[in-house]
Amino acid sequence: MVYWCLGVGLSLLLYTPLHATEALPKDAADAKRYTYDYLFMIDALIRNEKYQRARIELDALLERVKQNPDETALTRQAYGYLSIGLKDYPSAIDHFLFAVESGALPTGVSLNLRYTLAQLMYQEERYKAGLAQLQSWFEQSEKPTPQARVLLASFYYALKKYSQAISALKLAIKQSDSPQESWYQMLVGLYFETRQYKPSVPVLRILVNKYPAKAQYWQQLSDVLLQLGREQQAVAVLSLAASRKLVDESGLIRLAKLYLQLNNPLDAAELLSGGIQRGDIRRRKESLTLLVDAWLLAREPEQGIKVLKQLSEIDKSGKPQLRMGRLLMEQEQWQEAQQQLELGIKLTRKPTFEDWLLLGSTHYRLADSTAAHSAFKSALKLADKPQQSELAQRWIDYLATP
């Protein structure tokens, strides 16, 4: 099972230009015309990214209006937008907090600043303070947008309040005419974080349907279905993804193992064989060994022997040769079986009692009594059970009988 949580991909509106006709209170009787004009000019500097000049002008204006709370609040608000332009978010937060808490701004302006503050605080990982600002914004906002609910969910997620995050995110998706992909990703991540796999299935199905070319959603859906014990559905999902060439090598290997687990060895063998031929699966020890298992479980020993020959070129441990020797014995191909068993015993560092016993049997079938006697004597030396000793000795005695 692959557990994951994607980062929250918020498109933070970190810079909203200050426009005098919108942001400045028209009914502020104590704000002098000079201050409005000055702020309008500074706003133009900020929008044209002339930040250093804007800073000089704002510093001068702050000094001039320091005795006037309303004008100071307006100037600090403008300074906040300058700080955003300079990507100095802590400074922007300080200026906006001052402006909001001064109580000198109109309600609408103050409300918008609280939302911007929440965004900035999220950016700066000041989650508790940011959540407080956003909750205050929700209390005063008449129609919270789905985007605002996603931001709320993001704060809850960061503070490990997963239940509240899920509720906020589900409501955002429900209210939106076009929910963003990242919202679904976040919801799946929250379900995984809280080990709620069942409700993640319909969300992952939405992602698969909306973004069918993205392999990770197919894989995640298959993993969740496996976690829920719905193996047949998991295989169907992964198989469909494989047919669309959306499954990588590890996914194909996993699918083959699932086929074997569900007693479909022929499907596993054909999947692995085709993948190796196309180059989608590398011709290496793991894949070839699994392919051998699949062919043998599908009762196709000839195919299994062919793959073992390929495996023996990669794996020099002697195990492929010994296994091939046993299969060749079952096919009564005694000469080839003897050759593979001898080679396997030579390559392996620790041949077993059974290895020597099988080799002795092939020599006997080929009417080579001397070689058979030697092999059975070697088997007797490795016998660690009475039954093994008795079996090897019976062969030795039989060969000694005139």
pLDDT for 70-87, tens place per residue? 889 999 999 999 999 999
Residue range 343-363: mean pLDDT, rounded? 94
Q: Is the pLDDT of residue 11 over 60?
A: no
CB 111 within 8 A of CB 97: no
Q: How confident is residue 35, by pLDDT bands cut at 50, 70 and 90?
A: confident
At residue 257, the pLDDT reads: 95
CATH of range 1-142; options 1.20.1260.10, 2.40.128.20, 1.10.10.10, 1.25.40.10 = 1.25.40.10
| Per-domain boundaries in the chain | 1-142
List, for residues 200-213, the tens digit of each pLDDT value: 999 999 999 999 99
Residue range 321-328: mean pLDDT, rounded? 96
Closest CA to 199 of 180, 227, 233: 227
At residue 70, the pLDDT reads: 86
At residue 4, the pLDDT reads: 33
Q: Is the pLDDT of residue 319 over 50?
A: yes
Q: Is the pLDDT of residue 303 over 90?
A: yes
Neighbours of 144 (CB within 10 A): 18
List, for residues 56-74, the tens digit of each pLDDT value: 999 999 998 888 888 899 9
At residue 119, the pLDDT reads: 96
List, for residues 392-402, the tens digit of each pLDDT value: 999 999 998 86
Q: How confident is residue 189, by pLDDT bands cut at 50, 70 and 90?
A: very high
Neighbours of 139 (CB within 10 A): 9
Rg over CA atoms, the chain: 37
Residue range 109-118: mean pLDDT, rounded? 94
Q: How confident is residue 250, by pLDDT bands cut at 50, 70 and 90?
A: very high
Residue range 139-168: mean pLDDT, rounded? 96
Q: Is the pLDDT of residue 95 over 70?
A: yes
At residue 400, the pLDDT reads: 84
Q: How confident is residue 5, by pLDDT bands cut at 50, 70 and 90?
A: very low
Q: Is the pLDDT of residue 32 over 80?
A: no
At residue 402, the pLDDT reads: 67
Q: How confident is residue 349, by pLDDT bands cut at 50, 70 and 90?
A: confident
Residue range 25-46: mean pLDDT, rounded? 71
At residue 9, the pLDDT reads: 33
Calpha distance 67→355 (Å, rounded): 98
Q: Is the pLDDT of residue 299 over 80?
A: yes
At residue 401, the pLDDT reads: 81
User: Residue 248: exposed, middle, or buried by beta-carbon count in 10 A (0-12, 13-18, 19+)?
Assistant: middle
Query: Which contacts of 83-92 are long-range, i.e. CB under 8 A and separated by 24 or more positions?
Result: 84/14, 84/15, 84/120, 85/15, 85/46, 85/49, 85/51, 85/54, 86/51, 89/14, 89/120, 89/123, 89/124, 90/124, 92/120
For the chain, the average pLDDT equals 89
List, for residues 117-134, the tens digit of each pLDDT value: 999 999 999 999 999 999
Q: How confident is residue 196, by pLDDT bands cut at 50, 70 and 90?
A: very high
Residue with the larger pLDDT of the pair 302 and 22 = 302
| Residue entry with tokens 């392996």 | 348
Q: How far is CA 350 from CA 318, 356, 375, 378, 388, in A?
A: 10, 11, 15, 12, 17
Quote the percentage of the chain above a pLDDT of 70.
92
